[in-house]
Structure 1
């Protein structure tokens, strides 16, 4: 294939766009009555999310044109920018508080949830670190422990917001990336146990988290109080049965299920499209994550380790957020405010997801270009050095 005819991964684009458009349709269905009541226009959320979708496509086009060498070169400054952003959101007057959580910075048209970008910056930094210290990570404890320092700073800032869901996703993502880089099994098991212990301690240190755990165990013990949201979500799944009530025919969206167009959009989808529709969405996420992992594996085979680790990190973020959100909706996990990537309403999540998709598409393009031309991407020498140190 001539270099001029190289194309981006069509399967990755198809799965991402399908999820994005499915989300737009479901948001339109789930939000009209709430929008009419709260804002006087049934199309309020539809129009806003339509703008977010357009912004997402523009972002995807711009970011996919940025060489991976740029992200590798500026991985440390990006980490600092992410940390500063997480700190700024805690400052009164800069950070915006919603429902007791301070996670957003107002940009006028929409509120930017800085943790969405911070997770991407951490993935880019860890990828660069693994390339520079690959031999140390594979042979010593110090190589595994060093990235815990910036991670712990991010985790501390996220807990201060508080954003427990983003904290869990970020910790699992970093742990997964380090594991795939070739760390020893005893190191992975030790860190996994420490991570589980920390998550458990964080879960029981705040009364509202303890209450969520109790509600998760038996939402029907208080169906009109603490268990209201989860019980209404389960009613939505029950009403959907196999093939759903039909698009637009949800009852739960009529002020029964709170946050129907955001955190619980999957419950409305299951009610209107049924179990079959819900399973199709899960299949799309599995396919999306699989394509990203395949691209990462291809990068490793071409010894483009930075690209490979970035792909793995993005795949873990998509998989982690989708797993938690869907788990919450079906009652398999305690209630947690975490968006469903590419599908839930919200500009921050959609833009962050588009950035990750664009970076993976760029990686796929550069790998194809290198395979055709035989010319490696700029910024490749450091992976080779790391590999030689590891082999030695």
Structure 2
């Protein structure tokens, strides 16, 4: 509900100027919320979520969709990224489904603890690299980064040796350097992060406008609906930078309340993982919760100037049907796995 309120406040003027005559953002978000909650209730008691076959099929479907989004005429280009598939009434982002599918199959593979761990590591790497590569081609660095860090947290909880993480870390540094070299705009973003005022009307514009929203807000902000930065200063404020508008209107206290709500949610989810009766359920709940933890931290870090600008939504709050529906899908999966008795057969 906080998300609906601030999608309405942050996006009202942007919608009026750029999308005249179209359905308001808040109304669309409300429809996505109904679909997401209904989906969570539907799947929370379905036994197929505990079948290995389901997750393998979901993984294959997600890869097919990631390939499909790159085909001209199927994929939709927005803000320089071909990351969406048009469904007519809305757009769907396959990367959101892919993140869930990848973490699901990896959690199941790690839960089996095979004797040949080298084979497990190789399989895990292949399962991750294929969708990561397809996501980076779009390009969508934010989604790829969130998925990689969530996988890293899953592998740590699964008990992999520290030397494995050293190898991953070294590979990650080399890969990041290669990504920066292959796309110079990423280096520009890092430079803008270090000194946004060096190019205030270009690469540093979003970071500066976000800080101008947050800085003057004080303890209690300017009041709901009274944001100044949403009047075309902060680009598309209802999406990735909605937390800036929330802080501008509710101040430090409002931001702290939202952060504490996330902390309670994440703590509860990790507690449910610890109490789950099967290793598969434990690892999968940890993986999916970590996905939302990383995405939340990354979004808040970007809007407050702690991290370089990258396009990642704030779970539950940012405008976007794919993000909101898939987030509620994660809720349904967590509730389902937390209630498993451990007696279901696996196929």
Whole-angstrom CA distance in 2 between matches of 1:364 and 1:150 = 25
- The superposition leaves residues 35-59 of structure 1 with CA deviations (integer Å, 9 ceiling, x where unpaired) of 1112335961121111111111111
The question of whether the paired residues in 1 share the 8 Å contact of 2:242 and 2:318 is answered with yes
Q: What aligned pairs does 1:36-75 form with structure 2 within 5 A after superposition?
A: 36-40=16-20, 44-67=24-47, 69-75=49-55
* Structure 1 residue corresponding to 2:222, chosen from 220, 223, 245: 245
Check if 1:164 corresponds to 2:130: no
Whole-angstrom CA distance in 1 between matches of 2:177 and 2:265 = 30
Check if 1:289 corresponds to 2:263: no
* Structure 2 residue corresponding to 1:89, chosen from 64, 69, 84: 69
SS of the residue 1:208 aligns to: helix
Check if 1:256 corresponds to 2:233: yes
Q: CA, structure 1 residues 96+330, in 2 after alignment: closer, same or farther (shift >3 Å)?
A: same
- The superposition leaves residues 172-227 of structure 1 with CA deviations (integer Å, 9 ceiling, x where unpaired) of 12222122111112222222232233223213320111111111111111212221
Whole-angstrom CA distance in 1 between matches of 2:201 and 2:51 = 49
* Structure 2 residue corresponding to 1:365, chosen from 334, 339, 347: 339
* Stretch of structure 1 that moved more, 268-277 or 186-195: 186-195
* Structure 2 residue corresponding to 1:175, chosen from 148, 152, 175: 152
The question of whether the paired residues in 2 share the 8 Å contact of 1:102 and 1:162 is answered with yes
Whole-angstrom CA distance in 2 between matches of 1:245 and 1:196 = 42
Work out which of the two has the higher radius of gyration on C-alpha atoms and give 1 or 2: 1
Q: Unaligned 5+ residue runs, structure 2?
A: none
Whole-angstrom CA distance in 2 between matches of 1:357 and 1:110 = 22
The question of whether the paired residues in 1 share the 8 Å contact of 2:39 and 2:328 is answered with yes
* TM-score for the superposition, normalised by structure 1: 0.85
The question of whether the paired residues in 2 share the 8 Å contact of 1:293 and 1:312 is answered with yes
How far the C-alpha of 1:229 sits from its partner, in A, is: 1.0
Q: Unaligned 5+ residue runs, structure 1?
A: 1-20, 371-375, 383-392
User: What residue in structure 1 maps to residue 282 of structure 2?
Assistant: 308
Whole-angstrom CA distance in 2 between matches of 1:295 and 1:68 = 20
SS of the residue 1:97 aligns to: strand
* TM-score for the superposition, normalised by structure 2: 0.95
- The superposition leaves residues 90-134 of structure 1 with CA deviations (integer Å, 9 ceiling, x where unpaired) of 0001111112100000111110000000000111111221123x1
The question of whether the paired residues in 2 share the 8 Å contact of 1:261 and 1:344 is answered with yes
The question of whether the paired residues in 1 share the 8 Å contact of 2:213 and 2:247 is answered with yes
Q: CA, structure 1 residues 32+43, in 2 after alignment: closer, same or farther (shift >3 Å)?
A: farther
User: What residue in structure 2 maps to residue 377 of structure 1?
Assistant: 343
The question of whether the paired residues in 2 share the 8 Å contact of 1:36 and 1:43 is answered with no
Q: CA, structure 1 residues 283+42, in 2 after alignment: closer, same or farther (shift >3 Å)?
A: farther
